[in-house]
A and B are shown apart, each in its own frame.
Chain A
Amino acid sequence: MSAVLADMSKTERAKTETSKTIAPATSKAIAPSKGGRPWTFYVLAALFVAYVLALYGPMFCIYILSFQDIRGGLVFPMKGHSLHWFVDLFTQVRTGDVKGSFDRSIKLAVIVTIITVVVSFLAGLGFRRRFRGDTIVFYMMIGSLVAPGLVLGLGTGLLFQALGLNASWYTSALGAQLSWTLPFGVLVMFAVMSRFNHAWEEAAYDLGASRWQSIWLVMIPVLAPGLIAVALFGFTLSYDEFARSLQTAGSLNTLPLEIWSMTLNVTSPSLYALGTVTTIVSFIVIGASLGTIVLIQKKRGSRAKR
């Protein structure tokens, strides 16, 4: 009798056990812990902190050191704090042609941005349908992306020399930079275009829109966030481009080239001040672009609402 009872209790226990395993899968996590978070959380968090430190630490060294006072040197420890080296940067001539090169870099970046956006958009339109030789065009484009920048710049410089043209930042350097920004822009554009529903274009045509109207009133507004992303790529890639510009900028330097030459002969924290200023410019451009995209998205309401 008791044996039967024991048997029954055994089956009962088996039952509860199975129901336990079937019940919420979350309680059976890989790393169980007593309340709170599993230990894996802390491992991953530590890894993430290390990653962020490695990513931003070097930059912050530069930024911090640029705020020293007049006794400041090129290495830690920090000597006082002031804006001395920023003033120095814009007043002293011997540090190099910072203002001129900054000017040129911005102008060049704007030109590169405009050309990149226009050409990428047109390429996006062109690649909507397959055409003869489309794969060849595509791979040639990727080819210029993977070609070593220094070699490509050198070749561009040589080509200009052979043709008897003067290398300058707005001719040869522009070309060399475009060989870098265009493939990037086109690749981003492909990703953007893949989300464009061609029925929108057909609907515009059906409602009587001309080709121009359907591009202007439908395609560009719908693709606007993507076009801004392409512009952002074009600008930032050009603004800090070094390898391709080195042999093609001619006698007047762009900003990255100027900074590089300064590292060779300037031995004051004004070099770091320059780094801080250019970073601020970059962040303003990125912030403005992302802000515009967010604004457009917000205006259109969230798709996920429903």
Chain B
Amino acid sequence: MKNDRGDIELAGVCKSFDGVTNVVDGVNLEIADGAYCCFIGPSGCGKTTILRMIAGHEDPTAGEIVIGGQNVVGLAPVQRRTAMMFQSYALFPHLTVRENIAFALRVRGQSKADRLRAADAMIEKVRLTSFADRLPAQLSGGQQQRVALARAAITEPRVLLLDEPLSALDEQLRVQMRQELRRMQQELGITFIHVTHTQLEAIALADLVVVMEQGRIKQAGPAREVYAHPRDRYVAEFMGGQNVLSGRVEKVNGASFTLAQAAPDGIEVPLQARPTVSVGDKVDIAVRRDDVALVRPGKELPPGCTTSLPSRVLAIEYQGYFVKVMLDTVPDDEFVAYVPEKAFFADPFTVGDVVMATWATGSALPLA
């Protein structure tokens, strides 16, 4: 009986190419069957290496890779029932769309009639019927991507691995193909693992976002959790949308603590998930850029706000539905407020204005 489960477990996976440094350094992760998982991180963080190890194109130096309850280390991609979509698609230039898609069946020894019929069914699924006899070089980037997807999917894999699938496309097409990937994933009902370095792409697509740095997983969780509740400074800064401030703990009072900062009274931060804070600790906190409100000095703070930091406006960028206001609130870190367009233009600031940056006390997040 065929095992169709596509759940993946990585246990202590390490990879070293030179025997000295680990490109992937002890990764543990569970990915549910049928999940859409995005690995995200800067280039060289080991995300592609993990993908290639799951695909069977690299062997881990240590650790286990379990797919559907079976350790697959040492097995060929076909035996793992994984399929990979390569970064530049790697379509065979001498074969037509139909022959490219039928390739996997051809090497399996299926008869020509059978494999072409199966390929045509798949071509219809990715809506390329009128392009079936074209060569890859005669297709647009988006069409090439669909061929690559169809070619990988025809083997009926349990897991589809995508190596930066959208990086070769221009901005508009990227958003369009992003939806198509999600649609295909739901249609096929299999696990997708997608490597990217674009934050927006990851949070738009993934059930599970895995943020990596230097061969290690920094945080893994649902998109909203990773974006809204980053665990540490690295994740907060990498995912974006957050202001990160650091300071020493001045006093701890029950459910919150106060951070010494430029503000006259310090910054009050709720304790939340960080139970062990003591006076004198150096702590990072994150405040979402869209939670920051700007008030002219002397005006009353909005309700719920106890902290206000005097700042000067450094630059203003109009972004459409919001306005990005860059401030010199804290000396070492960037501090940005995303002000809704209408609120901003009701009383517009100009560069050089002094404002009070404030936020609802409950929205400040202590970082690990």
1/0 contact string of A200-238 vs chain B (CB within 8 Å): 101111111110010001100110100000000000000
| A31 close to B (CB within 8 Å) | no
| A306 close to B (CB within 8 Å) | yes
Q: Establish whether residues A203 and B93, one from each chain, have CB atoms under 8 Å apart when the complex forms.
A: no
Contacts of B172 in A (CB 8 A): none
Task: Give the nearest-CB partner of B137 in chain A.
Answer: A303
A207-B83, A208-B104, A213-B107 are contacts. A301–B55 as well, Cβ < 8 Å? no
Q: Establish whether residues A208 and B92, one from each chain, have CB atoms under 8 Å apart when the complex forms.
A: no
Out of B88, B94, B103, B138, name the residue touching A305 (CB < 8 Å): B138
| A300 close to B (CB within 8 Å) | yes
Name B136-164 residues within 8 Å CB distance of A. Answer: 137-138, 140, 151-152, 155
A200-B92, A202-B86 are contacts. A306–B137 as well, Cβ < 8 Å? yes
Q: Establish whether residues B55 and A206, one from each chain, have CB atoms under 8 Å apart when the complex forms.
A: yes
Q: Establish whether residues A301 and B88, one from each chain, have CB atoms under 8 Å apart when the complex forms.
A: no
Q: Establish whether residues B138 and A208, one from each chain, have CB atoms under 8 Å apart when the complex forms.
A: no
Interface size class of B (residues with CB under 8 A): 20 to 34
Alpha-carbon gap, A202 to B83, bound state (A): 11
Contacts of A213 in B (CB 8 A): 107
B291 to chain A, nearest CB (A): 44
Contacts of A303 in B (CB 8 A): 93, 137
Interface size class of A (residues with CB under 8 A): 20 to 34
Q: Establish whether residues A208 and B77, one from each chain, have CB atoms under 8 Å apart when the complex forms.
A: yes
Name B106-146 residues within 8 Å CB distance of A. Answer: 106-108, 134-135, 137-138, 140
Q: Looking at chain B's contact residues, is the secondary structure mostly helix, strand, loop, or mixed?
A: loop
Q: Establish whether residues A197 and B135, one from each chain, have CB atoms under 8 Å apart when the complex forms.
A: no
Name B53-77 residues within 8 Å CB distance of A. Answer: 55-57, 76-77
Contacts of B107 in A (CB 8 A): 204, 207-210, 213, 217
Q: Establish whether residues B138 and A301, one from each chain, have CB atoms under 8 Å apart when the complex forms.
A: yes
Alpha-carbon gap, A226 to B94, bound state (A): 14
Out of A197, A202, A301, name the residue touching B137 (CB < 8 Å): A301
Alpha-carbon gap, A124 to B177, bound state (A): 37
Q: Establish whether residues A306 and B140, one from each chain, have CB atoms under 8 Å apart when the complex forms.
A: yes
Q: What are 12 sample pairs from A and B whose C-beta atoms fall under 8 A apart?
A: A197-B88, A200-B93, A203-B151, A206-B55, A206-B83, A207-B78, A207-B155, A209-B107, A210-B107, A217-B107, A224-B94, A301-B137
Binding site for B on A (CB under 8 A): 197, 199-200, 202-210, 213, 217-218, 221-222, 224, 300-303, 305-306
With A199-B90, A206-B57, A305-B137 already in contact, 5 other A-B pairs whose C-beta atoms are closer than 8 Å: A203-B91, A207-B107, A207-B152, A301-B135, A306-B137
